[in-house]
Amino acid sequence: MASHSRFSSQRRVALPGSTRQPFELDAGTGITGKAKVLDATETISTSVIVYPKEPLDQSRLGRPDYRLTQSEFVKRHGPHPDALSLIEAFAEEFDLQINKPRHAGPCTLHLTGTLAALQHAFGVSLSMRELNGEHYRVREGDIQLPEELSGHIVAVLGLDNRPQARTHFRIATPHASNISYTPVQVAQLYGFPASASGAGQTVGLIELGGGFRQSDLNTYFNKLGLPAPVPTVVSVDSGTNSPGTASGADGEVMLDIEVSAAVAPGTNIAMYFAPNTDQGFVDAISTAVHDTVNKPTVISISWGGPESSWTAQAMTALDSACQAAAALGVTIIVACGDNGSTDGVAGTANHVDFPASSPHVLACGGTTLKSNGSTIASEVVWNETAIGEGATGGGVSTVFALPSWQANSHVPSSTTSSGGRGVPDVAGDADPSTGYSVEVDGEALVIGGTSAVAPLWAGLIALANAQNKTSAGFVNPTLYESTNVKAFRDITQGNNGAFSAGPGWDACSGLGSPNGALIIQSLAKGLGT
């Protein structure tokens, strides 16, 4: 360790939002006692997110006159120089290596060192615990920073590597009444423009596990009579394209690719593979948002977890990445979960899924869609909990305040003074019993879940970007305008447990499912084109 002790001698203060609750309070998580001895000599890399030179003007996000290039963003909203100089001195004192990860957000730094050095630097005690048969590195309590660093760091991620998110897809259980559609058929039912192309656009897909095989994509798209996409793989925090089995995360990965690329043929697909940790999730989104090589204008996310399962620092960091996307003209679309109004949390309280609850993403709920030939015969809120087959997420955030563009949507009151953002914003076919025919690991499967709705909308936004010749960016303010009500098919029947559908926006189907051509026109008007 360096001989000087500038930071070592300072009083320690808790990093706001870094609290991890004691394990005994995490009932039902499968966590057991200490199972392995921590190897203090192991080297890991943490993501330290620092405050920018100046914050974004959140009130202007989504306006066509407030859109930055990557270089403008870095110049205005890059890391504060005081934070950088402090982190450099801090890293040197505690024998940590500091580097700027490729592509990642300008305010993200990687500090790498041994577990012993990192525990000393951040005032934490790490241990190895068993969670659902796997061993993970975990911490409890707060991250303790030297007083001089207080107010300069947003988040320190990567000390704890427990799984953060879950997939939001469901494989259909065979029933005589089941029906299924190809993504192309779903797009036709929703009025996506015939013969439209996403050529020139790139959809970014965030994946926290699993993988794809190009041979499966070739087989699937050959059946559809469409050219098969050849996804570009971007590794984040050593994440890899690691195909396994259809019942694992491969179902998520293949669903995302096949739906988005089938409804927007010609679209490029960029895959951001990262570990399933809060660090991996945040770094993946930030990497995609600031990727100057692949340049996705739409990012689809089908992973998430209840707000209550996140630390406040991780939510702040991830939402900051979504704000950056809005400023850069990148649309982020997120599935809102498949476990109804409780979001799968034990007990009777209602919960919403994050990052769907971020006010800077388009959150997608689910419906049950039945057709009569080429037209929609009926569409109601997806809720099959009576037979154990899930229901759309939705409700009211306890973390994020009601956005101004949702002020006239009659969102139910939050249970906390800080919350209020209503979820979802939009909807689409998600019921596995009216699901999507896909190909996963050599198997023809029918899959549903709100995981299907996010790439469906991502494909629609890609088509809009191609047709309107500019990226739609942060679409929520535009879509919520009263003049665009006809761009949606209002879902007025069904519920997700605590919340029922009705005329206009509701906390289980949002504004409704898309009338594709009118959505594209609405986005063009929002851009002033």
CA distance 101 to 236: 9
Q: For 292, how many CA atoms within 13 A lie in the half-sphere containing its CB? A: 10
The catalytic residue among 451, 471, 509, 522 is 451
Q: Is 252 a catalytic residue?
A: yes
Give 52-89 as a 3 state SS string: ECCCCCHHHCCCCCCCCCHHHHHHHHCECHHHHHHHHH
Helix/strand/coil percent split, the chain, to 5: 30, 30, 45
- Using DSSP, state whether 142 is helix, strand or coil: coil
Token reading at 115: 């577990």
Give the helix ranges, DSSP H, for 391-515: 450-468, 476-479
Q: Which of 252, 379, 389, 439 is catalytic?
A: 252
Q: Please, what is the angle between helix 312-328 and helix 278-289, to 10°?
A: 10
**d(C-alpha 53, C-alpha 85), whole Å:** 13
Q: How far apart are CA 509 and CA 289, in angstroms?
A: 27
Q: Among residues 336, 326, 476, 315, which one has the least CA distance to residue 404?
A: 476
Active site includes 9? no
What sign for the dihedral angle of Cα 51, 53, 59, 63? Answer: negative
Report the distance separating Cα 343 and Cα 346, nearest Å: 9
Residue 436 · residue 497 · CB < 8 Å: no
Q: Is 256 a catalytic residue?
A: yes
Query: How far apart (Å, rounded) are the C-alpha atoms in residues 59 and 63?
Result: 9
Which residue among 160, 237, 256, 506 is the active-site one? 256
User: Which residues, in sequence order, are CB contacts of 484 under 8 Å at separation 6+?
Assistant: 478, 518, 522
Active site residues: 252, 256, 451
